[in-house]
Structure 1
Amino acid sequence: MISQLSWKIGGQQGEGVESTDRIFSTALNRLGYYLYGYRHFSSRIKGGHTNNKIRISTKPIRAISDDLDILVAFDQESIDLNVHELRPGGVIVADAKFGPVIPDGVDARLFAVPITKIAEDLGTSLMKNMVASGASWALLGLPLEVLGKAVEEEFGRKGPAIVEKNIQAVKNGAEFVLEQAGGPLEDFKLEEADGKQKLFMIGNEAIGLGSVAAGCRLMSAYPITPASEIMEYLIKKLPKFGGTVVQTEDEIAAVTMAIGANYAGVRTMTASAGPGLSLMMEAIGLSGMTETPLVIINTQRGGPSTGLPTKQEQSDLNAMVYGTHGEIPKIVIAPASIEDCFYDMVEAFNLSEEYQVPVIVMTDLQLSLGKQSCEMLDFSKVEINRGKLVKETPPLEGHELFKRYELTEDGISPRVLPGAKGGLHHVTGVEHDEVGRPSENANNRRKMMDKRLGKLNGLQVRDALRIDAPHENPDLLVIGMGSTGGTIDAARTKLQEDGLTSNHITIRQIHPFPTEALTPYLQSAKRVVVIENNATAQLASQVKMYAGFGDKIKSLLKYDGNPFLPLEVYQACKGMSEDGNI
């Protein structure tokens, strides 16, 4: 029996690939397996090759696998494009309709199943995804009733007749392939899972759930890949808590609406990707100048312009840190797991109100859309901090105004909601004095700039650096951000087998940069490798700029639209080790 396995389904978009993956993985989650998924899809509604890959394990995992055990193919293109991943002796379950052919030199077992015909015999070819699910599930020797339960949950709203037909499609697919194979494949049988209850979600869903827990009651946004699922999640959830989602006409309207709502006292967020973030830049400056809380989610994708809207990249770092004109304080944090996506949303809202600054939560497509197992979330950890929000203002004399931008020792001024007695003040995007009146006085300008820019001195967010450093003087220090952490850890296991010691740091506080915390680890390592999905080494540049050590830092970059594989990281890190041997 084996402890982990990799399964992939491929076909044309609109052919049922997504629903097959969803039902198959949901059933595995019910059994208690740990799962990590990656979705490859095109930027169109229907047509174009798509595939979903799931890594299944009895232990926690946070990376896709290098190879593939089972490929389910709805067309020959799916075989041709993905067969190179199959390990020797791997399995292809293909629709007999298109006459599947295994390319020369590939060591694989082919099971040609009349997937479409079985579905059509039951009434409609639309059920071929269920036939494929049943066939591949049966080869693993897993209990069919668990898959049936997942089918029932998927189609229950359509009535018992539809559920019955889909379950029958699963059974017929299973029976056909088991007869062809002579029973379940012994070398593909998974060890029993621990059976513990786990959440199974994409990062965008965790972001949505975290924002609700944080007290967000309004989301203003414009749909864009790969951020749209946050809107879709909150459209269903926020009304249950007295909140709502407003789909605006563009990202400029979305961010300015969020600023206005936050000024009025409602915790509000917006979410977008690189192109939308570009449109928001002027308004982010408005948030910084007026010291109005603002939370933005930026789900990175391939750029520039429309770029690769459905592919992995981490190339917006510089835009998030430096994009606004002028100089304002802002916070940029980067979740590295599904759990982070939840807890970081609570922290983002708290930080935004505590420091009265824009907070950008930076994810990437793999973290945002890759479905993963997640330990049960602890809602007792959720605490709300609204900072210096003044409920009662001291009595004011005559025409005196409230000092909304008061010069304080920590740079953070008292904040009041509109309509509060004694809270009258000006609000403007031009430079202003303590009560908000426009002012071009040079002395006032210097004081206000120092006040705003000094607010974040010494800031350190929760787990600013996620550190796994078992070695005092490692051969390598591997640094990453976002979704790369699990892949790096998988590569480090192989490095350890080769006798190379390594430490691993995931940088989660992107700005202000945690220089002081990172420096000792840079000093102690013989070599430093910074891993990121972009072409210009943006994270490595931050490390060199703020902490130095440029002479020992090397970059591993990938910008072809795909996430890193553990083998790629292992081979590159081994090549960059002290002796240079590969």
Structure 2
Amino acid sequence: MINQLSWKIGGQQGEGVESTDRIFSTALNRLGYYLYGYRHFSSRIKGGHTNNKIRISTKPIRAISDDLDILVAFDQESIDLNARELRDSGVIVADAKFNPTVPEGVNARLFAVPITAIAEELGTSLMKNMVASGASWALLGLPMEVFNKAVEEEFGRKGPAVVEKNIQAVASGAQFILDQAGGPLDQFKLEPADGKQKLFMIGNDAIGLGAVAAGCRFMPAYPITPASEIMEYLIKTLPKFGGTVIQTEDEIAACTMAIGANYGGVRALTASAGPGLSLMMEAIGLAGMTETPVVIVDTQRGGPSTGLPTKQEQSDILAMIHGTHGEIPKIVISPSTVEECFYDTVEAFNLAEKYQCPVIIVTDLQLSLGKQSAEQLDFNRVVIDRGQLVGDVQAREDGSLFKRYEFTEDGISPRVLPGQKNGIHHVTGVEHAEDGRPSESPVNRRKMMDKRMDKLKQVKVTNPILVDAPHEEPDLLIIGMGSTGGTIDEARQRLADENIKTNHVTVRLMHPFPAEELRPYMDKAKKVVVVENNATAQLASLIKLNLPHTAEKIHNHLKYNGNPFLPSEIYNECKGMFVWQH
């Protein structure tokens, strides 16, 4: 028996690849397995090769695998593009309709199943995805009733007749391949899962859920890959709590609406990707100048311009920190797991109101859209902190305006909601005095700039870095961000077998940068590898800027071809640095 395997399905976009993956992985989740998925899809509605890869394990996993056990192919292109990932003696389940062939040099067993023909016999070729999924499920020898339950959940809204037809399609696919293979294949027999209930979700859904838990009740947004799922989740969810989502005409409107809602006292967020964030920059500056809280999500993708809208990248970091004209306080946080996406979103709203500034949550496409197992969320950890939001304002005998931007010891001024008695004040995007009236006084300008920027000196964020440092004097410190954490840890396990001692730090607070927290781990390491999905080593540049004495020991490991890192890539890069020792 084995404790993990990888399964992939490929075909043309729009022919059921995603629904097949969804049902297959849902059934595995019901059995209690840990799952980690990756979607490779084209930037078009229909057509173009797409594939979904699921890694299945009896233990927690946070990375896609280097190799593949089972490939389900709806066309020859899926075989040609993906078959070389197969382990020796891997299996291809392919539609007999296109006369599938195994590429030269690939040692795989081919099962040509009349997938389309079986579906057409049952009434429609649309059910070919159910035939294919039934065939591959049968090879694992897992309980069919669990799979059928997942089918029922997927198609139940369409009525019992549709459910029954799809279950027949699953059974027909399963029976055909079992007859060909002589029963389930022993090489794919998985050890039993722990049976514990687990969440199975994408990072975008976790962000949406976190927003609801944080008290967010308004989301203005414009659809864009890979952020749209946040909007789609909240469209369904917010109305249940008295909230709403508005699809705006563009990202400029989305950001200014979110700022206006927060000014009015309603917690609001917007979400986009790199192109949309570029359009929001002027509005983000407005939030900084007016000290209005706002939460913005940037789901990074391949750039620049339209770039690679459906592919992995981590190249917006410096833009999020330095993109606005002029200088404002802002907080940029980078979750690295689905669970962190939830908790960090709650914290982002609290930080925005506590420090009265924009807070940007930066994810990447793999974390945003890669579906994965997650532990049950602890809603007792959700605490709402609205900062210096004052309820009662004393009348001023001289009739002066409320000092919304009052100079205080910590730089954080009292904040009121519009219409509050005795709280009237000016709000403007130009420089202003304590009551909000425009002011061009050099003395006032310097004091206001210092007041705003000094807030960053006191920012406290939960776990600005995540540390796994078992070695007092490691040979190598590996640093990453976002979705790279689990991949780095797998590479470290292999490096340990080579007697290379490694520590691992995931940077979660991008701005203000946690230099002092990172310093001791940088100082102890002989060498440092910074792993990131961009071409210009943006995370490494932040480290060098804030800890310049460490620059000479930093080695960059960059990947910017649109795909996430594989464990073997990080292992090989790091091992190559120590060849001289062997």
Please indicate, yes or no, whether the TM-score normalized by the shorter chain is above 0.5. yes
Q: CA deviation at 1:531?
A: 0.2
Q: Which residue of 2 aligns with 1:416?
A: 416
Q: Distance in 2 between matches of 1:34 and 1:188?
A: 16
Contact residue 460 and residue 514 of structure 1 kept, 8 A: no
Q: Distance in 1 between matches of 2:459 and 2:504?
A: 22
Name the amino acid aligned to 1:571. N
Show the counterpart of 2:80: 80
Deviates more, 1:339-348 or 1:101-110: 101-110
Alignment-mate amino acid for residue 237 of structure 1: T
Distance 1:130 1:259 in 2: 46
Aligned residue in 1 for 2:552: 551
TM-superposed deviation, 1:580: 4.2
Q: Residue 261 of structure 2 aligns to which amino acid in structure 1? A: A
Provide the secondary structure at the position in 2 that maps to 1:455: helix
AA aligned to 1:565 is L
1:114-151 residue CA offsets vs partner (Å, 9 max, x unmatched): 00000000000000000011000000000011000000
1:281 and 1:484 map into 2 onto residues whose CA distance is 27
> What residue is the counterpart of 2:402 in the other structure?
402
User: 2:99 matched to 1:112?
Assistant: no
2:216 partner letter: C
Per-residue CA distance 1:459-506 (angstroms, 9 max, x = gap):
231110000000001000000000000000000000000000000000
Q: Which residue of 2 aligns with 1:176?
A: 176
User: How many angstroms does 1:456 deviate by?
Assistant: 1.6
Name the CA distance, whole Å, in 2 between partners of 1:330 and 1:296: 11
Q: TM-score scaled by structure 2? A: 0.99
Between stretches 324-333 and 103-112, larger displacement belongs to 103-112
For the structure 1 residues 262 and 558, does the alpha-carbon distance in structure 2 shift closer, same or farther, using more than 3 Å as the test?
A: same
SS in 1 for 2:346: helix
AA at the equivalent of 1:510: M
- CA distance in structure 1 between the aligned counterparts of 2:104 and 2:120, rounded to whole angstroms: 32
Note if contact 1:7-1:71 (Cα within 8 Å) is conserved in structure 2: yes
1:248 aligns with 2:248: yes
Residues 284-433 of structure 1: matches in 2 within 5 Å? 284-433=284-433
Conservation of the 8 A alpha-carbon contact between 1:218 and 1:267: yes
In the aligned structure 2, how far is the partner of 1:460 from the partner of 1:191? 44
Map of 2:263 onto structure 1: 263
Give the deviation of 1:581 after TM superposition: 6.0
Alignment of 1:565 with 2:566, yes or no, is yes
Deviation string for 1:270-297 (max 9, x for gaps)? Answer: 0000000000000000000000001000
Paired position in structure 2 for 1:226: 226
Secondary structure of the residue aligned to 1:299 is strand
Which runs of at least 4 in structure 1 moved beyond 3 Å after TM superposition? 579-582
Residue 105 of structure 1: CA displacement? 1.7
Report whether the alignment pairs 1:166 with 2:153.
Answer: no
SS of the residue corresponding to residue 339 of structure 1 reads helix
CA distance in 1, matches of 2:460, 2:311: 31
Deviations 1:19-57 (A, max 9, x none): 000000000000000000000000000000000000000
Structure 2 CA distance for aligned equivalents of residues 425 and 46 of structure 1: 53
TM-score normalised to structure 1 length: 0.99
Shift in Å, 1:397:
1.7
Aligned partners of 2:576, 2:460: CA distance in 1, in Å? 34
Aligned partner letter, 1:558? K
Cα distance in structure 1, aligned partners of 2:397 and 2:375 = 56
Shift of 1:576: 2.1
Distance 1:288 1:115 in 2: 57
Q: 3-state SS of the aligned residue for 1:456?
A: helix
Structural RMSD (CA):
0.7
What amino acid does structure 1 have at the position aligned with 2:452? Answer: R
Equivalent in the alignment of 1:5: 5
Contact 1:6 1:69 in 2 (8 A): yes
Write the letter of the residue equivalent to 2:377.
L
2:194 corresponds to which residue? Answer: 194
The answer for the alignment partner of 1:124 in structure 2 is: 124
Please tell me whether residue 526 in structure 1 is matched to residue 536 in structure 2.
Answer: no
Distance 1:458 1:66 in 2: 43
Distance 2:537 2:359 in 1: 23
1:236 maps to 236
Q: 3-state DSSP class of the match of 2:348? A: helix
Structure 1 unpaired stretches of 5+ = none
CA distance in 2, matches of 1:523, 1:31: 45
**Residue matched to 1:143:** 143
Partners of 2:419 and 2:271 in 1: how far apart? 29
Structure 1 residue 58 corresponds to structure 2 residue 31: no
Contact 1:574 1:581 in 2 (8 A): no
Structure 2: distance between partners of 1:458 and 1:85: 49
AA paired with 1:222? Answer: Y
For residues 19-58 of structure 1, what are the structure 2 equivalents within 5 Å?
19-58=19-58
Identity %: 77
- Counterpart-to-counterpart distance in 2, 1:398 and 1:525: 62
Q: Distance in 1 between matches of 2:464 and 2:376?
A: 22
Matched residues in 2 for 1:414 and 1:117: separation? 70
Shift of 1:398: 3.7
Instruction: Tell me the alpha carbon deviations over residues 357-382 of structure 1, each in whole angstroms, 9 at most, x when there is no partner.
Output: 00000000000000000000000000
Residue identity matched to 2:161: A
CA distance in 2, matches of 1:316, 1:455: 23
1:449-464 aligned at under 5 Å gives the runs: 449-464=449-464
Tell me, in whole angstroms, the C-alpha distance in 1 between the residues paired with 2:128 and 2:152.
16
- Once the two structures are superposed, residues 488-542 of structure 1 have per-residue CA deviations (whole angstroms, 9 ceiling, x without a partner) of 0000000000000000000000000000010000000010000000000000000
Match of 2:515 in 1: 515
Listed one character per residue, the Cα deviations across residues 145-201 of structure 1 (whole Å, up to 9, x for unaligned) are 100000000000000000000000000000000000000000110000000000000
- State yes or no: 1:576 paired with 2:565: no
CA distance in 1, matches of 2:532, 2:580: 21
- In structure 2, what is the Cα distance between the partners aligned to 1:133 and 1:148? 11
Other-structure match for 2:69: 69
Shift of 1:458: 3.4
Tell me how many residue pairs correspond in the alignment: 581
Deviation for aligned residue 1:106: 1.1
- C-alpha separation between the residues in 1 aligned to 2:401 and 2:93? 74
**Preserved contact between residue 334 and residue 481 of structure 1 (Cα < 8 Å):** yes
- Looking at structure 2, the residues matched to 105 and 447 of structure 1 have their Cα atoms a distance apart, in angstroms, of 70
Q: Distance in 2 between matches of 1:104 and 1:380?
A: 56
Q: Residues of 2 paired with 1:200 and 1:516: CA distance?
A: 36
Letter in 2 for 1:574: K
For residue 466 of structure 2, what is the aligned residue in structure 1?
466
1:395, 1:250 → 2: CA distance?
A: 41
One-letter amino acid matched to 2:572: Q
Identify the range of structure 1 (102-111 vs 150-159) with the bigger mean alpha-carbon deviation: 102-111
Amino acid at match of 1:552: K
